[in-house]
Amino acid sequence: MNDAERKRRFDALARQYSDDLFRFGVWLCGDHALASDLVQETFMRAWKALDSLKDAGAAKSWLITILRREFARTFERKVPPITDIDNVVVAEESEQTPEDRTERDLLRTAMFELERKYGEPLILQTVMGMSIAEIAVQLELTESAVMTRVFRAREKLKERLQPSERGGNIHELA
| Maximum CA extent, the chain | 66
Asked if residue 18 belongs to a domain, the reply is yes
Asked if residue 163 belongs to a domain, the reply is yes
pLDDT tens for residues 28-51?
Answer: 888 888 889 999 999 999 999 888
How high is the pLDDT of residue 164? 58
Q: Which residue has the higher pLDDT, 32 or 91?
A: 32
Query: What CATH number did the domain enclosing 168 receive?
Result: 1.10.10.10
Asked if residue 167 belongs to a domain, the reply is yes
**φ, ψ (nearest 5 deg) of residue 65:** -60, -45
pLDDT band at 5 (very low <50, low <70, confident <90, very high): confident
User: Are residue 111 and residue 155 in the same domain, yes or no?
Assistant: yes
3-class SS string, 32-77: HHHHHHHHHHHHHHHHHCHHHCCCHHHHHHHHHHHHHHHHHHHHHH
User: Are residue 51 and residue 101 in the same domain, yes or no?
Assistant: no
The overall average pLDDT reported for the chain is 80
User: Are residue 53 and residue 8 in the same domain, yes or no?
Assistant: yes
**φ, ψ (nearest 5 deg) of residue 171:** -65, -35
User: Are residue 133 and residue 168 in the same domain, yes or no?
Assistant: yes
Could you tell me if 70 and 45 are in contact, meaning their C-beta atoms sit under 8 angstroms apart?
A: yes
Asked if residue 49 belongs to a domain, the reply is yes
Q: Which of 35-54 are b and which e, b meaning 16 or more Cβ less than 10 Å from the residue's Cβ?
A: bebbbebbbeebeeebeeee
How high is the pLDDT of residue 100? 66
pLDDT tens for residues 93-115?
Answer: 455 666 666 777 788 788 888 88
* Sequence-separated (6 or more) residues with CB below 8 Å from residue 72: none
Asked if residue 166 belongs to a domain, the reply is yes
Among 77, 111, 136, the domain boundary falls at 77
Whether 73 shows a pLDDT value over 50: the answer reads yes
Give the residue-averaged pLDDT of 136-155: 90
Q: Which residue has the higher pLDDT, 90 or 27?
A: 27
Whether 166 shows a pLDDT value over 70: the answer reads no
Asked if residue 111 belongs to a domain, the reply is yes
User: Are residue 41 and residue 11 in the same domain, yes or no?
Assistant: yes
- Measured distance CA(50)–CA(10) in Å, rounded: 7
Give the residue-averaged pLDDT of 147-170: 76
Range of the domain at 23: 3-77
Structural domains counted in the chain? 2
